């Protein structure tokens, strides 16, 4: 049996603190920048980065509004026009808020935290089985964030490298007096080193397509998917949401992209019942995005069109993970 050697350390990239997890026996190195959205930006497998990250280093993220690596989308993921309804109340987004990120149609998108500087590392370590880093963001401490999303809560995120895979786990604690809707997600960008995504094949184990209007905002309807579970990516792009994920016996769903013997698998935990697949034509990456709700699911739930929306009770917690593994590199 091969012995594994794990390590966890802090680093500095042009004055920005970074964290690095490593497994010498598997030759995997994972890098995270806590002060820019707690974003993972490298997963080197035998020296090859399987994350799409078009920068020379983490410091360049500060001046780039484009997403890459593993962005965290919260307190809501994807598009949510104008505001939201929850607990019988209508919350309008403040027009003057500089915290909002807008898409090409002026719709707030991807929440407030994709590049947040408010994460603090609370635990960093390694043993004979894994290396990990845990960071915490206390949302309730920041008035500009609370003005947009008035639920006092905290996030705790852990990156753990173990047994050839990276687990990204998330815990949400609701400190407010009202139940809080859970509409978070991640937007990880993947590349197959040395292989064009257009020459790869994706495994997308889903049953239903989330129908949207012209702004890519869901209507509340779904339709049967129009492709087999294994979908060649040549001459086909994706920017689509899916439900009805096909689950293994452990309740998890495994997405993958494969080409020339190289493969990346992304496994969603059971509390991520929605997937967005993003592989725009002409780009050399694919995103398998674990989502706790469909896009604009909070408002669809208020309209009676999305009963599956998850909530965190006052004083309660919500937890889930997803996993990334690469083979053949």
Contact yes or no for 161/17 (Cβ under 8 A) = no
**DSSP state, 3?**
P
User: Is 120 domain-assigned?
Assistant: yes
Return the closest-CA partner of residue 41 out of 22, 27, 56, 26: 56
In a domain? residue 298 = yes
Average pLDDT over residues 80-108: 91
pLDDT in tens, 131-185: 999 999 999 999 999 999 999 999 999 999 999 999 999 999 999 999 999 999 9
Assess if residue 148 is contained within a domain.
Answer: yes
CA-based end-to-end distance of the chain:
21
Residues 6 or more apart from 150 whose CB is under 8 A from it? Answer: 91, 176
Each residue's pLDDT tens digit, 183-228: 999 999 999 999 999 999 999 999 999 999 999 999 999 999 988 8
Overall domain count for the chain: 1
- Please state the rounded mean pLDDT for residues 86-103: 90
Which one-letter DSSP state was computed for residue 94? Answer: P
pLDDT given at position 320: 98
Note the pLDDT tens digit of each residue in 261-281. Answer: 999 999 999 999 999 999 998
Going by C-alpha positions, the residue among 153, 137, 139, 145 that lies closest to residue 39 is 137
Are the CB atoms for 308 and 300 separated by under 8 Å?
no
Is 3 a residue whose pLDDT tops 70?
no
Query: What is residue 59's predicted lDDT score, i.e. its pLDDT?
Result: 86
Q: How many CA atoms lie within 13 A of 185 on its CB side?
A: 28
In-domain check, residue 320: yes
User: Is the model's pLDDT at 98 over the cut of 90?
Assistant: no
* Mean pLDDT, residues 315-319: 98
Distance separating alpha carbons of residues 243 and 208, to the nearest angstrom: 5
- State the pLDDT at residue 64: 80
CA separation for the pair 38, 300 (Å, rounded): 29
User: Which structural domain, as residue segments, surrounds residue 50?
Assistant: 6-327
Backbone φ and ψ for 63, nearest 5 degrees, come out as -105, 10
Phi/psi of residue 19, each to 5°? -130, 140
1, pLDDT greater than 50: no
pLDDT for the residue 240:
97
DSSP state of 301: H
Would you say 129 and 78 are in contact if contact means Cβ atoms under 8 Å apart? Answer: no
Task: Give the pLDDT of residue 66.
Answer: 86
Using one digit for the tens of pLDDT, what is the confidence trace for 222-256? Answer: 999 988 899 999 988 999 999 999 999 999 999 99
Q: At residue 2, does pLDDT exceed 60?
A: no
Q: Which residue has the higher pLDDT, 312 or 94?
A: 312
CA distance linking residue 21 with residue 28, whole number of Å: 8
Q: Does 1 reside within a domain?
A: no
- pLDDT category, 286, cuts 50, 70, 90? very high
Q: Is 158 helix (H, G, I), strand (E, B) or coil?
A: strand
Q: How confident is the model at residue 4 (pLDDT cuts 50, 70, 90)?
A: low
Helix (H, G, I), strand (E, B) or coil at 294: coil
CATH number at residue 283: 2.70.98.10
């Amino acid at each position: 049996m091969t012995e594994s050697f794990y390590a966890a350390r802090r680093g500095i990239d042009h004055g920005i603190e970074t964290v690095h997890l490593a497994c010498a026996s598997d030759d995997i190195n994972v890098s995270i920048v806590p002060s820019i959205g707690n974003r993972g930006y490298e997963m080197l497998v035998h020296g090859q980065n399987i994350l799409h990250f078009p920068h020379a280093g983490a410091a360049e993220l500060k001046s780039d509004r484009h997403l890459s690596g593993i962005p965290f989308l919260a307190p809501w993921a994807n598009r949510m026009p104008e505001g939201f309804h929850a607990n019988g109340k209508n919350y309008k987004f403040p027009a003057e808020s500089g915290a909002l990120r807008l898409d090409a149609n002026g719709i707030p998108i991807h929440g407030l935290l994709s590049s947040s500087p408010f994460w603090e590392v609370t635990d960093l370590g390694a043993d004979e089985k894994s290396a990990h880093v845990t960071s915490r963001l206390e949302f309730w401490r920041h008035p500009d964030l609370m003005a947009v999303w008035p639920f006092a809560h905290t996030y705790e995120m852990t990156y753990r490298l173990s047994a050839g895979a990276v687990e990204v786990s998330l815990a949400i604690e609701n400190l407010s007096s009202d139940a809080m809707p859970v509409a978070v997600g991640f937007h990880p960008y993947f590349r197959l080193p040395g292989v064009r995504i257009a020459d790869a094949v994706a495994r997308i184990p889903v049953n239903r397509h989330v129908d949207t209007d012209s702004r890519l905002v869901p209507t509340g309807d779904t339709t049967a998917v129009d492709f087999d579970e294994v979908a060649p990516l040549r001459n086909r792009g994706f920017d689509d949401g899916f439900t009805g994920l096909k689950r293994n016996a452990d309740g998890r769903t495994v997405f993958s992209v494969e080409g020339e013997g190289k493969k990346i698998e992304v496994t969603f935990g059971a509390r991520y019942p929605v997937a967005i697949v993003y592989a725009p034509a002409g780009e050399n990456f694919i995103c398998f995005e674990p989502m706790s709700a469909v896009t604009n699911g909070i408002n669809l739930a208020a309209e009676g069109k999305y009963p599956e929306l998850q909530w965190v009770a006052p004083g309660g917690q919500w937890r889930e993970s997803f996993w990334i593994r690469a083979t053949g590199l």
